[in-house]
Amino acid sequence: MSAKSRVRLALPSKGVLETATLSFLAECGMKVNRSNPRQYLAQINGMPEIEVVFQRVADISPLVQSGDATLGITGYDLLAEHRGYGDEEEKDNGRAEDLIMLERDLGYAVCRLVIEVPESWIDVSNCADLWHLSGYYQEHKGRGLRIATKYPVLTSQFLRRHNITHCKIFSPHGALEAAPLTDTADLIVDLIETGTTLRENHLKLLDDGTVLRSQSCLISNVDTLLHNEAALKVAETMLELIDARMQARNRSMLTAYMHGENIEEMQRTCVRLNQRLKGIVAENEFRVATSDLANTAAPEWYTISGVVNVGAPELLEIVGVLRSAGAAHVNVTPLTYRFAEVSSSVRALRERLKRLR
């Protein structure tokens, strides 16, 4: 396959996000094959039509928007800052765009963009308090609040929604957490995962100070998908595998072998089982899968099965219910993929592209 006919997928090149992305893709059946970790080009096993290119995560959104890459995985925070709008303005309005999200939440690199203020500001606990303080600074200190952040666009939009205009937003080099300690900023807007770094630097969150919720997302260049069938097929294949893997996460198939006089009796048994299991697991429904007709010595044995999404204690409760109903063996098999009749992500992509044609 020639290089020109390949579909380029941009992935993070460094740090925790690179490791997590490669692990996620492998989990979805798309293992990236890179013999040297310093290489910037790689392939995906079994998918020669994809050329993987490793880039700085901040460069992935511009690369996809320009069409130099068809697909990319990046943080939603960086995508929102690049596009200039976040959650509250995220909507499908049918406009032709250069850049669209194919999957908003990939389930890893989960974090929040938040306002962090010094712990010593005991009278500041929400955005209304911050608004009052900004006015006080302007009146008594002759300046607005100094806010350090790597996300000036999202920060500015959030502050305007809360009518906080007496402020100066800037993007310093180095760690943001040090800015209030060194008096180069009054407060910061930064990403947090666990909040440990925040507490170690004597900062606190505002009650309503979440600017954006973020995790990794899959993006694509819309023009390429509209005019390149090979690229669209690759995008749909990735969405199918990602969707099926995410639907299978933390889910297991339970298979139980039970004695019954006939198929009708087993169906009635399943109805009773499902009623008893409602208090343990909401989404499961056991059904008769097969009758063991191959075993002529005991044709009255049947197989019932169901998919569950529970922890170990609840799993033991379910097994107990099945045993009490006469199950001889209960097998538990973790799911790798769970394909729906139609992938909801693929269907959503096709509908959106149809509106943009």
Query: What is the predicted pLDDT for the residue at 287?
Result: 80
State which amino acid sits at residue 333.
T
Helix (H/G/I), strand (E/B), else coil: 210: strand
Phi, psi of 119 (to 5 degrees): -60, -25
Instruction: For CA atoms 189, 190, 191, 192, give the dihedral sign.
Output: negative
How far apart are alpha carbons 134 and 145 in whole angstroms? 6
Report pLDDT digits (tens) over 34-57. 878 788 999 999 999 999 999 999
Say if residues 144 and 168 touch (Cβ distance below 8 Å): yes
Report pLDDT digits (tens) over 289-301. 665 544 545 557 8
Query: What is the predicted pLDDT for the residue at 60?
Result: 97
Mean pLDDT confidence for 255-282: 81
Name the average pLDDT for the chain. Answer: 88
Query: What is the predicted pLDDT for the residue at 267?
Result: 85
Q: Which DSSP category does 87 fall into?
A: G
Q: What percent of the chain has pLDDT over 70?
A: 91
Distances (CA, A) of 198 to 114, 188, 195, 204, 353: 11, 10, 5, 7, 42
Say if residues 126 and 209 touch (Cβ distance below 8 Å): yes
Q: What percent of the chain has pLDDT over 90?
A: 61
Query: What is the predicted pLDDT for the residue at 123?
Result: 95
**Residue 3, pLDDT above cutoff 70:** no
**Residue 96, pLDDT above cutoff 50:** no
State which amino acid sits at residue 60.
I
Say if residues 305 and 286 touch (Cβ distance below 8 Å): yes
Query: Which range (128-137, 269-278, 294-303) has the least confidence?
Result: 294-303
State which H helix or E strand residue 218 sits in.
Answer: strand 216-221
Mean pLDDT confidence for 13-21: 93
Helix (H/G/I), strand (E/B), else coil: 215: coil
Enter the pTM of the model: 0.86
Query: What is the predicted pLDDT for the residue at 296?
Result: 46
State which H helix or E strand residue 44 sits in.
Answer: strand 41-44
User: 134 pLDDT band (50/70/90 cuts)?
Assistant: very high
Sheet of 111-118, strand order: 167-170, 145-149, 187-192, 111-118, 203-214
Neighbour count for residue 204 (Cβ, 10 Å):
19
Say if residues 114 and 133 touch (Cβ distance below 8 Å): no
User: 317 pLDDT band (50/70/90 cuts)?
Assistant: confident
Query: What is the predicted pLDDT for the residue at 137?
Result: 95
For the chain, list the domains and their CATH numbers.
Answer: 3-108+215-248+342-356 (3.40.190.10), 111-211 (3.40.190.10), 252-334 (3.30.70.260)
Report pLDDT digits (tens) over 336-351. 999 988 999 999 999 9
Distances (CA, A) of 133 to 117, 153, 164: 12, 22, 10
